[in-house]
A and B are shown apart, each in its own frame.
Chain A
Amino acid sequence: MFAIITSPPVSPASSRPAPYLGPASRAQARFPRPLYVQPIVGHVSGRGRGLSSQPMGGEPCCPGPAPASSSCRKMAAAAELTLLEKSLGLSKGNKYSAQGERQIPVLQTNNGPSLTGLTTIAAHLVKQANKEYLLGSTAEEKAIVQQWLEYRVTRVDGHSNKDDIRTLLKDLNSYLEDKVYLTGYNFTLADILLYYGLHRFIVDLTVQEKEKYLNVSRWFCHIQHYPGIRQHLSVVVFLKNRLYTNSL
């Protein structure tokens, strides 16, 4: 009684241009990684209070191999939530379904109503993992965490063009100038989700851009090395010395 209707033909394949490798790979080809590097964090010492507690210490910043140009696609929300579950140390994986065009994640909880939306489910998982401190401890901190979570799903995910991304990085860079984490001194869910959300853009930045958004780079590099957060995401390489200081 039901049968497949054959799909309509695909429009004739146009001759495709050679794949664009992305600015990152080109820049890296032109400026090979220096053998000896100095941590970027050194340059901003004095501003970044409390940096000594960072796990990086004096180790080379990013030992991983230089990543290939990323496929600039957004991580599926369900995959991101699974990633978060691992980061939070939740052992029993939840199953997520996706809703509508924008593929909004839905979690069917065992004993309650379903939850819809990335940040809603993320906050729920944090509580499930008994890590409420990741949602902030004071009223102020809680509000700030939620503000950046909202920023993540509206501005980061809702960007419409390259200019939006540039503005976003510029604003964030200026915001992070005197901060270690988004709330100031405490690592929270906002850092995790903003890190996941920005990863696909940061991967594609040129060395020059990374240096331009120095504070974002510092923060990003810090979060990707926070224990258990990065999981399978590629390590983004940041140079520890400046190449373009004069041109800045």
Chain B
Amino acid sequence: MRLFVSEGAPGSLPVLAAAGRAQGRAELLVSTVGPEECVVPFLTRPKIPVLQLDSGNYLFSTSAICRYFFLLSGWEQDDLTNQWLEWEATELQPALSAALYYLVVQGRKGEDVLGPVRRALTHIDYSLSRRSCPFLAGDTESLADIVLWGALYPLLQDPAYLPEELGALHSWFQTLSSQEPCQRAAETVLKQQGVLALRPYLQKQPQPGSFEGRAVSNEPEEEELATLSEEEIAMAVTAWEKGLGSLPPLRPQQNPVLPVAGERNVLITSALPYVNNVPHLGNIIGCVLSADVFARYSRLRQWNTFYLCGTDEYGTATETKAMEEGLTPQEICDKYHAIHADIYRWFNISFDIFGRTTTPQQTKITQDIFQRLLTRGFVLQDTVEQLRCERCARFLADRFVEGVCPFCGYEEARGDQCDKCGKLINAIELKKPQCKVCRSCPVVKSSQHLFLDLPKLEKRLEEWLGKTLPGSDWTPNARFIIRSWLRDGLKPRCITRDLKWGTPVPLEGFEDKVFYVWFDATIGYLSITANYTDQWERWWKNPEQVNLYQFMAKDNVPFHGLVFPCSALGAEDNYTLVSHLIATEYLNYEDGKFSKSRGVGVFGDMAQDTGIPADIWRFYLLYIRPEGQDSAFSWTDMLLKNNSELLNNLGNFINRAGMFVSKFFGGYVPEMVLTSDDRRLLAHVTLELQHYHQLLEKVRIREALRSILTISRHGNQYIQVNEPWKRIKGSEADRQRAGTVTGLAVNIAALLSVMLQPYMPTVSATIQAQLQVPPPACSILLTNFLCTLPAGHQIGTAKTPPTPAEAMAAAAPQQIQVLMDEVTKQGNIVRELKAQKADKNQVAAEVAKLLDLKKQLALAEGKPLETPKGKKKK
């Protein structure tokens, strides 16, 4: 037989690695042909590699060639291998060709390349870790491993594209790559040039079909039922039978919550939202809500948990806003602090304290850290060229200046950062700078400033990261950001500003300056804790006993992962540093970006005004949590997910389970006689519950929500197959069966109510009240599925709960929906025109239309007219 290969054809990798199998069984000739040569006479498009068999037949599929080699060696086909190969052809290949094309032909990097394949990689990792087998189809290396290894090798051989957190994938890939046939195939094909060796071949290929459409996906990840061993089933049954007795005693509530030696002490912070605006859904899911889910979960695990947040109140943006609204900065802070607190209260966020940064404690702690840094020589002094507005008689910091971005030419770049290209800007580099207050052109003057000497601290930082990162749950994007900052080398960072609204700098000659928020905002966590308890140092100077989880959107990673750790390490005061930095990606709004300053998107107060209950918002936001990749908020999708997942799946199951108990068994949980099917179900539920725990321990909040939905899907199927409503009318045995099914179902419902608690606390409480779940079982979640509602347990008089259908119907009436769509559309038109730098009058006309639509919308929603959010246009 004769194998045709071509320089740089990726398919050659698995084929060559598998060819060894056929050795001695047939003579194999290898011919190299050009990438565009048509070897197979009946195929119109060139296809490589190809195996021509002695019979004259051609094998033109890479997997089929590998399969043939394996078959020759006496291997037998099995379902699992078939499944992997089918998955490889239909799911992995489209994603992988897109990624390789971006990387090799278009020269793109990072997330652009990893994005398309991330889901597939996670699937492999998940399957490997879940089955706890070292190889894809069992304990030994086989066809599936070779085919997938060969497909993935060109990408994954670059460590940048082998995500560290996918541990099982990692070790599987390393094992295979170190084997001799694989090594040889890799050398032959890549010739030690890495992935670029594929360029001559890939350049000749048509661009892979649009894969972009799948990149931002809100679709559920796939679920599959794992194989269960007899042992697992037996263990699940034993745990179930122990019932309530196996619950540990409930931890007494402490006030204040303080770390306890010998316990797991979990300190959770959510990035401090800035006070100058109403938070939008992107802010809420990015930190506050995500951290809340974890805090609630942590309490369910009986871990000693303290969750804090607060408003970040100092800085230029507050001063600007105060000027806009004609108030003092303090008044602005008071006003917006209350707005924030209200919104989070409405979203049911379980803070132990929601504080603020404008307190004496903030000044005390910040100045203390600064003094320690100063005496240890980590603070530099330098002269800075700065813009000064002569008319306003002051230096213009950051957001007081606007101008043209020196990098991308964007016209409304701010003094510290360009909103369009995201690059950090030194204000004096702005072209055509303007004072934001009086619109006159500022002049460059010099001013003395203090700098944190990051280069001097870099070594300590790297040491600390080296100890912290391995085995921690830092999200991949956070690791990536920190790594790229370190790669570029740290530079001294200015920590003072010419402002009044801030923490004063305790140093002679700096009386009229304050600390920059970069330096003191992250100290807010400490001061807020200090306002909660005078024993705050037991949390913050206790790295041995405290596990610190910090939640934020990815733009906040440098402050939490670099700047604050450097300050804390330099202060040498045994500060607690972040153990797990959890950063989300961005949440987009419909097709665009949420933007506070532009007023695009859904804002916290607006969510409240729709009349849709907070729990539904929580559910949808968590369901689309930008975890691992950007995701998009969409009204239509929200309606869809509410109806399909919450109503038809979860709600339906829980209602049925409760309804059967009250309708068929007078409200008492019936006797349960478990059959082998029931035991199997117990084990499946247990497995899924354990999976939920594994995911939440790793703070994969969105994925863990899928586990809840999976269990309820199992439950629905179980009821559907066993038809208790029919059996209840049948023979004695049938009635007993109906009882068992109902009893098991209602216990699953009780379990779901607890698992749901971090996500939908109000709904969870409603279910528990209805089922009268015994109190300890409501507040503790073990890793096993227990029978918490034993036979004879009485559930609440199951009047159907007051269906808030009316409330919901009023919530999103069609008119509002139509208007919202219109607003979005018009918003897009305006943005497009602006992007095209269209004629000013035209833009103004479209903006007027937009404002009018917003007014109509506000009227339709029965809201008071809001003053347009964001900055005023000239």
Residues of A within 8 A of B (CB): 1-9, 99-102, 104, 106, 108, 112-120, 123-124, 135, 139-140, 142-144, 146-147, 149-151, 153-154, 158, 160, 167, 170-171, 174-175, 177, 184
Contacts and interface: CB of A to CB of B under 8 A. Distances in A.
Contact of A4 (B55, B57, B647): B647
A55 B349 CA distance: 72
Which of B224, B650, B804, B811 counts the most chain A CB atoms within 10 A?
B224
Contact of B805 (A4, A135, A153): A4
B767 interface: yes
A159 B65 CA distance: 23
A89 B53 CA distance: 34
A188 to B, nearest CB: 13
Given A1-B767, A1-B801, A9-B818, A117 B639 contact: no
B358 interface: no
A2 B760 CA distance: 12
B89 A140 contact: no
Given A5-B811, A6-B809, A116 B87 contact: yes
Given A119-B82, A158-B90, A171-B44, A5 B643 contact: yes
Given A116-B87, A117-B87, A147-B59, A6 B67 contact: no
B82 A113 contact: no
Nearest to B224: A114
Interface of B: 41-45, 53, 55, 57, 59-61, 63-65, 67-68, 71-72, 77, 79-80, 82-83, 85-87, 89-90, 93-94, 209, 214, 219-220, 222-227, 612, 616, 635-636, 638-639, 642-643, 646-647, 650-651, 655, 763, 766-767, 801, 803-805, 807-809, 811-814, 817-818, 821
Contacts of B42: 171, 174-175, 177
Contacts of A104: 90
Given A9-B817, A120-B79, A150-B85, A99 B57 contact: no
Given A8-B636, A8-B639, A160-B209, A170 B79 contact: no
A8 B63 contact: no
Given A5-B639, A143-B68, 4 more contacts: A101-B219, A113-B225, A167-B44, A171-B44
A112 B227 contact: yes
A184 B58 CA distance: 12
A9 B816 CA distance: 10
Contacts of A8: 635-636, 639, 812, 814, 817, 821
A153 B90 contact: yes
Nearest to B810: A6
Contacts of B59: 143-144, 147
Contacts of B41: 174
B71 A6 contact: no
B60 A147 contact: yes
A214 B226 CA distance: 47
A127 to B, nearest CB: 8
A150 B61 contact: yes
A153 B89 contact: yes
B638 A117 contact: no
14 contacts: A1-B763, A2-B642, A6-B639, A8-B635, A9-B817, A108-B225, A114-B224, A116-B86, A120-B86, A146-B77, A158-B94, A167-B45, A171-B44, A184-B57
B48 to A, nearest CB: 15
B97 to A, nearest CB: 12
Contacts of B642: 2, 4-5
A116 B83 contact: yes
B126 to A, nearest CB: 13
Interface core residue of A1, A151, A153, A171 (most chain B CB under 10 Å) = A1
